[in-house]
Structure 1
Amino acid sequence: MTQVERLLAIVEHLKQYGKISIEQICERFGVSRDTARRDLVKLEEDRLIVRVRGGAIRPTLTREAICYEDRAHHEAKRAIGRTAAALIRDGDHVLFDASTTVQCAAEAVYVRDLVAVTNSIDIADTLGKSGRATIYLLGGQLNPWHRNIVGTQTVEMLRQYRVDWLFLGACGLSGEGLSSSNPEEAFVKREMIRRADRTVVLADATKFGKTLFHSVCSWEDIDIIVTEQPPDYAFRNMLEQHDVQMLIATGGENR
């Protein structure tokens, strides 16, 4: 068994039982205590576990963790984020939707005098640490699992702003447009689109062809989509018909 396979098995064990000891890792996988400790260190670095005396437990914090099997998927999101961030110029006003891919864009922003509006606690924290942005965190009801702010108060606050760019995450992309599994998030996203001069969708290739329960918007509302690999011909043709520009992210740094 490779280390990756072992790490995946440890994560699955934690999903089921909530905790695991070093002794259990040694017995189950036939490894030394030092190897078991190194595995736990690696998983903690990826925010998949919390190490405790004698083993590890499943994280109790509600931030979204990166699944170990999705490491390549996360790298794609980081590339998408860098490509999107390169669109921003000094002094721009940008609305950041709450999504893991949009957060990757926030992490890659290196402009000066940015004015940022967001309903994401993590994005506000990321931009705040950069020291390059004035940040407006939207109010409303906290969703502790997604670490974002939603609700009617959020929408009312959004109506006070007008921005150059909206960086929008998406759960589903189909011929009908963007969709979300959460009605409150879909409601907030629709108002965000109304407040922006240009809307940029940040979406990895797994989102193409998916239609979820709640519609967010049609393609007429989207200006640019950033992804790591192009969709099939029919989807590309549909984007062209709606004058949606497509940017393909690369692995290089955009600074």
Structure 2
Amino acid sequence: MYQEERMRSIVDYLQIHQRISIEDICSLFQVSRDTARRDLVKLEEHQAIIRTRGGALLPAAPYEVIQNYNERLLAVSEEKKRIGSLAAQLVRPGERVILDSSTTVQACAEMWRTADCYVITNSINQADVLSSKPDVSIHLLGGQLQKEHRYVYGSSVTDTLSRYQVDKAFIGTGGIADGGLFAVYEEEGRVKERMMEQASQVIVLADHSKFGKSNYYRFASWSRIDLLITDYLPEPQLLEQLQQHGVEVLAAHDLEKKEQDIE
């Protein structure tokens, strides 16, 4: 494992356990104490941790400022694009699909190659992206508009959703932590919750930065998820808990690495 991957895993571990020791790092990653110390020094230089005697803690989390949708789109990473590409490959001709309003789900819509599909969404952006694909039928749900984040919500949205049954729902999340999936806003979470209820298969799209993060509103337990598509596999304990709840996990980075090794 490269140092960058190991450092990312250390932070993922801290987000769940709050603290980590040198011994933990040596055991988890099969490295020497000197290597573990160098990792912590590097993480401290990036202000990602606070070093303690024999280990590290996460710094106190500042109040999270949520950027509006267009600002978040500007920051869409290559990791999210890889997640979106992998998710788009799962859509089959003739399927009925729900898309929520997250930027990672928009990355899926942008990579869409399947014709002859029916899409239901509460996102202005997802509808706009898919409108350029002539064989995709789009139902844009009507409701109260959240202008900053470009989605519609409210009882009219959840009531309309309750009348549909679809093959797949692609759902983004503000956090994956003990207890399930979290959203920043309650009204957004309620829509996601109903979308998941109406789908035969629930596919969650989330990059590694969402692991261990809990926001204001929990909209689903892990048992509601069929498949999680991410960039890097979560820390072993979180991965084990997901698998215990029957959640299949696909990591874009790990799949790419396996393909490169085969070549």
TM over 0.5: yes
- Report deviation, 1:131: 1.3
Given the two structures, how large is their TM-score scaled by the length of structure 2? 0.69
2:143 to 140, 143, 147: 140
1:185 to 158, 183, 188: 188
- Report deviation, 1:132: 2.4
Query: What value does the CA root-mean-square deviation take over the aligned residues?
Result: 1.6
For 2:87, give the aligned amino acid: A
Given the two structures, how large is their TM-score scaled by the length of structure 1? 0.71
Is 1:227 aligned with 2:230?
A: yes
Alpha carbons 1:66, 1:74 under 8 Å: kept:
no
Stretches of structure 2 that go unaligned for 5 or more consecutive residues are 1-67, 257-263
- Report deviation, 1:63: 4.3
What is the match of residue 97 of structure 2?
94
What is the match of residue 154 of structure 1?
157
- % identical aligned pairs: 38
In the TM superposition, what whole-angstrom CA distance separates every residue of 1:5-25 from its partner, at most 9, and x where no partner exists?
xxxxxxxxxxxxxxxxxxxxx
What is the match of residue 240 of structure 1?
243
What is the match of residue 131 of structure 1?
134
Alpha carbons 2:175, 2:183 under 8 Å: kept:
yes
Q: Distance in 2 between matches of 1:130 and 1:150?
A: 25
Instruction: Summarize the Cα distance change of 1:66–1:141 in structure 2 as closer, same or farther, 3 Å threshold.
Output: closer
What is the match of residue 65 of structure 1?
71
- The runs of at least 4 consecutive aligned structure 1 residues that moved more than 3 Å come to none
Q: Distance in 2 between matches of 1:103 and 1:132?
A: 18
Secondary structure of the structure 2 residue equivalent to 1:101: helix
Q: How does 1:207-222 map to 2 (within 5 A)?
A: 207-222=210-225
Q: Distance in 2 between matches of 1:234 and 1:132?
A: 43
Q: Distance in 2 between matches of 1:82 and 1:215?
A: 27
- Report deviation, 1:87: 0.7
1:173 to 158, 165, 176: 176
Stretches of structure 1 that go unaligned for 5 or more consecutive residues are 1-61
Instruction: Summarize the Cα distance change of 1:66–1:146 in structure 2 as closer, same or farther, 3 Å threshold.
Output: closer
Secondary structure of the structure 2 residue equivalent to 1:149: strand
